[in-house]
Amino acid sequence: MCGRYAMTLPHEAMVQLFDAVASNDLPDGPRWNVCPTTQVPVVTDGGGARRLRPMRWGFLPHWYATPTAGPLLINARAETIARKPAFRAACRERRCLIPATGFYEWTRDADGTGLPWYFRPSTEAPLAFAGIWQDWGPDAVATCAIVTCAAGPDVAMIHHREPVTLAPEDWPLWLEEVGTGAARLMRAAPPGRFDRYRVDRAVNSNRVEGPELVDPPIDEE
């Protein structure tokens, strides 16, 4: 799964990177500890121009009476996304890109305490997670989820799932700007896409923020 990530690009950099028009209500950044249910920047196809807009990270199916009426859907599994009632329409019609500069996964020590690992691109290029989105409720609250797949070699030693990350040449297909066959994009990253290292346990708290969260710990365990 992907349950926490970092997004440290300025709005202007995201606009340039994705060739998008920015909404004026984007969430403040940078963020080194993006948590579920918060507002995150998302790229959608705007019918001729891409839009960079805020969405709630936590997909809400239309039948939820309240945001807490069912499970918190922050991820959608690539293997079942086209069949699950919650996701199948969005998978066909409402795909998006979720910008990130890195993400976290956890192992556990002998006492069961979570040990966080930070994954970042092996190059300087930011990440674009494959996502889906949907408006929910009478106020059309925009919500999104990150598509995940079985982990590739860079992530598998730490966790069995990873977020689907898309190369720039694949963005038009995922956003339905060109062609068909986006399902083939839902796969693990090739070897060497990510660097990883242990970080401080402070990131285990969803109330902690700051660039020190992605610093390697002084004492490796």
pTM above the 0.85 mark?
yes
Running DSSP on this structure, what letter comes out for residue 28? P
| Residue 205 lies inside a defined structural domain of this protein | no
In the chain, how many domains are there? Answer: 1
Residue 178 is predicted with a pLDDT of 92
> Would you call 209 exposed, middle or buried from its count of C-beta atoms within 10 A (0-12, 13-18, 19+)?
middle
Average pLDDT value for residue range 124-139: 96
| Residue 110 lies inside a defined structural domain of this protein | no
List phi, psi (to 5°) of 183: -55, -30
Q: What percent of the chain has pLDDT over 70?
A: 98
Residue 17 is predicted with a pLDDT of 97
| Residue 174 lies inside a defined structural domain of this protein | yes
Q: How confident is the model at residue 119 (pLDDT cuts 50, 70, 90)?
A: very high
List phi, psi (to 5°) of 216: -60, 145
Residue 56: domain span: 5-105+126-195
Pairwise pLDDT comparison (187 vs 29), residue with the higher score: 187
Residue 46 is predicted with a pLDDT of 79
Residue 112 is predicted with a pLDDT of 82
Running DSSP on this structure, what letter comes out for residue 164? -
Q: How confident is the model at residue 220 (pLDDT cuts 50, 70, 90)?
A: low
Q: How confident is the model at residue 219 (pLDDT cuts 50, 70, 90)?
A: low
Residue 217 is predicted with a pLDDT of 81
Residues 6+ apart with CB under 8 A from 91: 76, 81, 82, 132
Say how far apart CA 51 and CA 22 lie, in whole Å.
Answer: 6
| Residue 91 lies inside a defined structural domain of this protein | yes
Which CATH number does the domain housing residue 183 bear? 3.90.1680.10
| Residue 56 lies inside a defined structural domain of this protein | yes
Average pLDDT value for residue range 178-203: 95
| Residue 52 lies inside a defined structural domain of this protein | yes
Query: Mean pLDDT in the chain?
Result: 95
Say how far apart CA 121 and CA 102 lie, in whole Å.
Answer: 7
> Would you call 85 exposed, middle or buried from its count of C-beta atoms within 10 A (0-12, 13-18, 19+)?
exposed
| Residue 201 lies inside a defined structural domain of this protein | no
| Residue 119 lies inside a defined structural domain of this protein | no
